[in-house]
Amino acid sequence: MAPPADRRVTLDVPTVRKDFPILDREIAGHRLVYLDSAASSQKPRAVLDAMDRYYETSHANVHRGVYTLAEQATAAYEKARATVARFVGAPSPRGVVFTKNATEAINLVASVWSRSADATARVVLLSEMEHHANLVPWLMLREERGLELRFLPVDDGGRLVLDDLDRLLDGVGLVSVTAMSNVLGTINPVRRIADAAHAAGALMMVDGAQYVSHLATDVGELGCDFLAFSGHKMCGPTGIGVLWGREDLLERLPAFLGGGEMIRDVRLDGWLPNEIPWKYEAGTPPIAEAIGLAAAIGYLSDLGLDSVRSHEQALTAYALDAFGERFGADLAVHGPPQACDRGGVLSFAYRGIHPHDLSQVLDSAGICIRAGHHCAKPLMRRLGVGATARASFYIYNDEADVDALVAGLVAASDLFLPA
């Protein structure tokens, strides 16, 4: 009999693991069990090779030189932009702006929108489960420009409470919400929020930092006006993120940083902005990183994002079952109880042992998990905790990794709470 849908293994993990050289490493004499991909994923050989190849054969600055090498570098950089556009279902590469990371992409929108004529409605709707990247830029603007901030609450099951959505949207100019919580794993009903935002005359930004790497993404289906995400969480390098924006908005909104490729003309008494997307890319961009990100997208696309999602859902279901069977009420997982409602991120409390202590004991067995507030302090307060332990899964994790985590937790309990 076929296993139920959320138990179906859809990736050949041993083959995937061979593509990630770092997974051959040992830590403290143990095989590396990497369970912190929500913080940053590991990189496959295809990405490392694409970046090496670029530096070894084609590096020059982009958009400036008229010699062959510069033209090849520019073509590779712009090809990467087209690859990103296709990956998120964008109508054209013109809406794809390369940034340093998701944080910078969100800051970009916060900065240019709040300075624009579009911001006549000076109210922004966020949620209680946002990462600091989608909170602090807005808190700064509240102080500096007097924006009003409202927050969608989170219920005890780790889901957004949308009962009051229409009332909260009254007078709002922009909504910015994460598609997947980096603490709870909750997959949010972004389309529903986007439709309500648009009906109320507001723009919709989606923080896709935890989503784009794990689920097939289409900006049209999400119904958003802006989407922000980072390359390093999706097998790409650090130092590159993406802001996709609706082209009419990017054209209308003011520039972000000044200098370099973002100008059409400069005089001593003024300047004219370049066309989009370059209007938002000041200074020498992350060229090798864009090429690495395109290689990461190629790698993930070859695996198939639907397979990535089913694999993670199956592994999350396996972990939830294993936690329940082995630890019962001694281990509490935050967030939705069903794997189908969440990504492969499991934040938990275990027998009152401090998450940092847990993480240290697990580290001595080669197991990397995250411990802390996960850059979501308001959510920690909502959960009534100072910190959680967090294990997060990706394409190279399998049941053996979950089993190692369970064994590590038993060892931690034996150490800190001996019978």
Ligand X SMILES: Cc1ncc(COP(=O)(O)O)c(C=O)c1O
Catalytic positions? 375
Nearer to ligand X, 395 or 409 (CB): 395
Minimum gap (Å) between residue 418 Cβ and ligand X: 35
Listed in sequence order, the DSSP H helices in 364-398 are 377-383
At its nearest, how many Å lie between ligand X and the CB of residue 389?
16
Q: Considering only 8-16, 98-106, 142-150, 301-309, which stretch makes contact with ligand X by CB under 6 A?
A: 98-106
The radius of gyration of the chain from alpha carbons, rounded to an integer in Å, stands at 22
Contact between 210 and ligand X (CB under 6 A)?
A: yes
Q: What crossing angle do the helices spanning 399-416 and 355-363 adopt, rounded to 10°?
A: 120
Q: Which two tokens stand for residue 124?
A: 């922004």
Q: Is 367 in the site for ligand X (CB under 6 A)?
A: no
Selected binder of ligand X within 107, 178, 388, 392 (CB under 6 A)? 178
Q: 3-class DSSP state for residue 399?
A: helix
A 10 A CB-CB count for 292 gives 29
Nearer to ligand X, 286 or 412 (CB): 286
Contact flags string 290-309 toward ligand X, x per CB under 6 A? --------------------
Choice between 134 and 313, CB closer to ligand X: 134
Among 35, 90, 133, 339, binds ligand X (CB under 6 A): 133
Per-residue burial over 353-388, b if 16 or more Cβ lie within 10 Å, else e, is bebeebbebbbebbbbbbbbbbbbebbbebbeeebb
**Any bridge partners for residue 358, and if so which?**
none
Question: Counting contacts by CB under 6 A, is residue 107 touching ligand X?
Answer: no
Nearest distance in Å: CB 412, ligand X: 25
Q: What are phi and psi of 267, to 5 degrees?
A: -125, 170
Q: Among 129-137, 213-221, 262-270, 405-413, which window interacts with ligand X (CB under 6 A)?
A: 129-137
Residues in contact with ligand X, shown as a per-residue x/- string from 211 to 250 under the rule CB under 6 A: -------------------x----------x---------
> CA-CA distance, 287 to 77, in Å (whole number)?
6
Which of residues 100 and 279 has its CB atom nearest to ligand X in the complex? 100
Strands 263-267 and 270-273: antiparallel
Q: How far is the CB of 197 from ligand X (least distance, A)?
A: 19
Q: Which of residues 263-292 bind ligand X (CB under 6 A)?
A: none
Question: What is the rounded CA–CA span in Å between residue 200 and residue 165?
Answer: 10
Q: Across the strands, what pairs with 271?
A: 266
Query: Left (φ > 0), alpha (ψ -120 to 50) or beta: where does 223 sit?
Result: left
In angstroms, give the least distance from the CB of 414 to ligand X.
32
Contact region with ligand X (CB under 6 A), list: 87-95, 130-138, 271-279, 329-337: 130-138
Indicate which single residue of 37, 127, 182, 347 sits in contact with ligand X (rule: CB under 6 A).
182
Q: Does 127 bind ligand X (CB under 6 A)?
A: no
Q: Is 131 in the site for ligand X (CB under 6 A)?
A: yes
Give the whole-angstrom CA distance, residue 209 versus residue 131. Answer: 10
- State which of residues 103, 213, 313, 359 lies at the interface with ligand X (CB under 6 A): 103
DSSP string, 310-359: HHHHHHHHHHHHHHHHHHGGGEEE-S-SSGGGB-SEEEEEETT--HHHHH
- Binding residues for ligand X, per CB under 6 A? 101-103, 131, 133-134, 178, 182, 207, 209-210, 230, 241
